[in-house]
Amino acid sequence: MDHEHAFELLPAYIDQELSLSEALAFERHLASCQECQRVYEQHRQVSAQLKQADLRVDAPAELLKRIEAALPLPRPRSLWRKLGDRVGGWFGGGSSPGWAPVGAMVLSAVALTWSAGLYLSVPSSETRLTQELVDSHIRSLQFDHLSDVISTDKHTVKPWFDGKLDYAPPVVDLVQQGYPLIGGRLDYLDGRSVAVMVYRYKLHPINLYVWPSKDAGTAPPRIVERQGYHLAHWTSAGMNYWAITDAGEAELNGFVADLLAHPAS
C-alpha cells in the first residue's frame, strides 16, 4: 500500500469500516511510516474528542427571527406544533408554533440525505464479490491453506470434490503451458460452497474459483485490479470462473487464454 492510498483509508480505519484485507494492508504500512503514525494519532485524538464533547450551540435570537420572517410557508398551530417546539428547542428558541415549517423541512432534508447516503454507501453485488475473492485469496496465503488436496494430477484432484459439492467442477492440466496444477480445496463464496483449483505461475499461486452460473450464456474474460491483485472473471458452459493472482496482467491473461483453449475434463 502506498502513502497516498494509506492517507485515503485512514479515516475509515479509525472508524473500523475497512475490510480484513484492507485493514491488514493499512497496518503493515502504518508500522513502517512515521508520518502516517503521527497523522493517525492526531485523527484518533480528534475522533475521541468529538465523541465526548457536547457540541450543542444555541442559535442567537436575532437569527431565529430572521429565519422565521423569511419562511414563505404558513405557520399552522395544529399538526406541526409539537414538532416545531422540538426543533425550536434544538436551536435555543424555546416553544414556538412558528417553527413547525422548519421542523417539516428539517425532517425532510434529513430523511432525504440519510436515504441517499445509504444508497450510495451500499456496494454493488459484484464489488462485494470481488472483495470476498480478494479476502479469500489472502487468507489462503496467510494461513498456508492453498490446498485441501495436493496433487499435480487432475484425475486425483477432480474426484476429491465428489460428494463435497452439488456439481462437478471442470479440472484441466496446464503444465505444458507453464501453469501447473498443484491442488484443490473447498471454499465458501457468494453464499455457497465453491471449488477452488490451485495453479502456479513460477512462484505466483493462482486461485481459480468455479461454481455454477445462474445464466446459461457466455461472458468473455474481464480483468480488474484490486489491492495489488489481478482478477479475471468469465462464464462458460454454465459455470462462473474467477481467477486471482499477484502475477501480472499479461501472465493472468495467458492463463485464462490457455484455460479457455483447453477442453474441459
pLDDT in tens, 221-249: 999 999 999 999 999 888 999 999 999 99
Nearest residue to 258 (alpha-carbon basis) of 141, 174, 184, 137: 174
**What pLDDT digit, counting tens, does each position of 131-155 carry?**
999 999 998 888 667 888 999 999 9
| Grid cell in block for residue 96 | 414556538
**Residue 11 has what pLDDT?**
81
CB 96 within 8 A of CB 85: yes
**243: phi then psi, degrees, rounded to nearest 5:** -120, 140
**Residue 95 has what pLDDT?**
47
- Ordered by start, the domain boundaries in the chain are 3-54, 61-120, 125-261
**Residue 142 has what pLDDT?**
80
**What pLDDT digit, counting tens, does each position of 82-131 carry?**
545 554 444 444 444 444 455 555 556 655 555 555 444 444 677 888 99
Share of the chain above pLDDT 90, in %: 37
**Residue 219 has what pLDDT?**
83
**Residue 91 has what pLDDT?**
44
**Residue 79 has what pLDDT?**
44
Task: Decide which of 189 and 120 is more confident.
Answer: 189
Does the structure show a pLDDT above 90 at 64? no
**Residue 101 has what pLDDT?**
55
Mean pLDDT is lowest, of 13-22, 116-125, 177-186, for: 116-125
**Residue 50 has what pLDDT?**
66
The matching CATH number, chosen from 3.30.1360.20, 3.30.1490.100, 3.40.50.1450, 3.30.200.100, for 125-261 is 3.30.200.100
**171: phi then psi, degrees, rounded to nearest 5:** -130, 125
**CATH tag, 3-54:** 1.10.10
Cα–Cα distance, 112 to 70 (Å, whole number)? 23
**What 3-state class would DSSP assign to 9?**
helix
The secondary structure of residue 89, as a DSSP letter, is H
- Choose from 66-70, 80-84, 259-263 the range with maximum mean pLDDT: 259-263
Does the structure show a pLDDT above 90 at 214? no
Does the structure show a pLDDT above 80 at 72? no
